Amino acid sequence: MRVTLPIWVVVLVAIIMVVLVLMVWSLKRRKRPHIKLEEGDDASDLFLSIAGLTQSTLVEGNAIRLLENGTFFDELFADIEGAKESIHIESFLSKEGELTRRLTELLIQKRREGVHVRLLLDGSGGKEFGKDAIKRLGESKCTVAHYHPMTWRNLGRLNNRTHRKIGVIDGRIGYVGGHCFVDTWMGNAEDKKHFRDITARVEGPAVAQLQSAFSDNWVEECGEVFGGEVYFPELQRCGDMQAHVVFVSPTGAPSTMKILYYMAIRAAKKSITIQNPYFLPDPDAREALAEAVKRGVKVRVMIPSETASDSPLVQHASHHHFGTLLKVGVEMYEYQKTLLHQKVITIDSCWSAVGSTNFDDRSLEINDEVAIVIFGEEMASQLELIFERDKKHADKREFEQWKHRPALHKLRDFSSFLLNEQL
């Protein structure tokens, strides 16, 4: 039996399809930021420019320490125990286990002491926090929210996740980095069941910017605006570090995080050092890295190996352009010991960024992200020493070796890269 549709129905369906395609394209479209710098400008000359162009403000008087692997949780939980006024935590990934149980007990205890507790979990990554734990937190009057829950009401926003990892205690102590509330982040990266990561602990004026970043998504999801001395106290000088916080929510313009990364790379004169678990630079970023090598910059990138990563698909997609980068002189390393999850970058041994941002389109265009940018040799040298230490557990890739990898490997790389914008 053959069914014949009226011509107007066919035309209508065709028009609807074209409109839908245009809508998706318009939502996805981003203008790529073409960074133009004056001759002679370098990272040390652009501190204020980078802060201003990323919608932030450079502030002095901060004390910032790097916390590696499981030591992060020791410090965070100690600061939570000492909280007097408020505890704010935003996290992407959590899974029921020892860490979520410890966090739950601590938050309930502090709420009973009268401390304001707000916990923002991503609606996708945080759905395994534990139903009983969420129930107990709610019953104890802790405020728990899920960012863009996976429901039909959020159909148009399901692809937008909060990938931020933020902690703010009493508006005076801040945390920003890559750690998740999953037990594989415990320990000391001793094997593949214990991941490698870095988070920055912050005291000083920059904490107010981290509080603003938390407020950004809290207001969006809950509609609650909090203010006053409890949350934004007057912050005194705690150290000598200059810093500013960059946080991004997707808009029609290039993200502040993309501008941050690209401008820093374009400004480099001596060195670029990157450690990132998901490294999928777009054409502009690859071009910027290649041009940096041409002007004499030493560019080094470290990612986890396919066998150590929690997402081999992403690593294969990353491999697709390894050859392009190796050919122009970018040094590529693959960390073998476990998942290397820190998202850090240093420029010219004087500029550093630590945060939640992966070097891929999802983080730079789709997700909500956050990073703290630190100006000064002290932090940059610490991160570069960490890179050198991690090199002992990494394999350096060479161009001639790489271009002769097996055909099946190349096929997997290419097919995985076709999905790069959503990985």
In the residue annotation, 343 being an active-site residue is answered as: yes
Amino acid at position 18, single letter = V
In the residue annotation, 88 being an active-site residue is answered as: no
Which three-class secondary structure state does DSSP give residue 275?
strand
Q: HSE on the CB side for 125, CA within 13 Å? A: 21
Which three-class secondary structure state does DSSP give residue 229?
coil
Q: HSE on the CB side for 220, CA within 13 Å? A: 20
In the residue annotation, 310 being an active-site residue is answered as: no
Cβ(301)–Cβ(325) under 8 Å? Answer: yes
In the residue annotation, 396 being an active-site residue is answered as: no
Cβ(275)–Cβ(332) under 8 Å? Answer: no
Which three-class secondary structure state does DSSP give residue 268?
coil
**Spatial distance between the Cα atoms of 49 and 43, rounded to a whole number of angstroms:** 10
Q: How many residues does the chain have?
A: 423
Active-site residue among 170, 183, 216, 390?
170
Bridge partners (DSSP) of residue 240 are none
In the residue annotation, 395 being an active-site residue is answered as: no
Burial 403-420 (b: 16+ CB within 10 A, else e): eeeeeeebebbeebbeeb
Active-site residue among 194, 316, 320, 341?
341
**Spatial distance between the Cα atoms of 221 and 44, rounded to a whole number of angstroms:** 38
Cβ(132)–Cβ(45) under 8 Å? Answer: no
Active-site residue among 197, 216, 282, 348?
348
Cβ(165)–Cβ(224) under 8 Å? Answer: no
Active-site residue among 165, 179, 316, 337?
165
Beta-strand runs (E) in 315-365: 331-335, 343-347, 351-355
Torsion of CA 316, 319, 321, 323, to 10 degrees: -150
Bridge partners (DSSP) of residue 63 are 203
Active-site residue among 343, 361, 368, 393?
343
Bridge partners (DSSP) of residue 353 are 345, 373
In the residue annotation, 348 being an active-site residue is answered as: yes
Neighbouring C-beta atoms of residue 7, cutoff 10 Å? 8
Active site residues per annotation: 163, 165, 170, 341, 343, 348
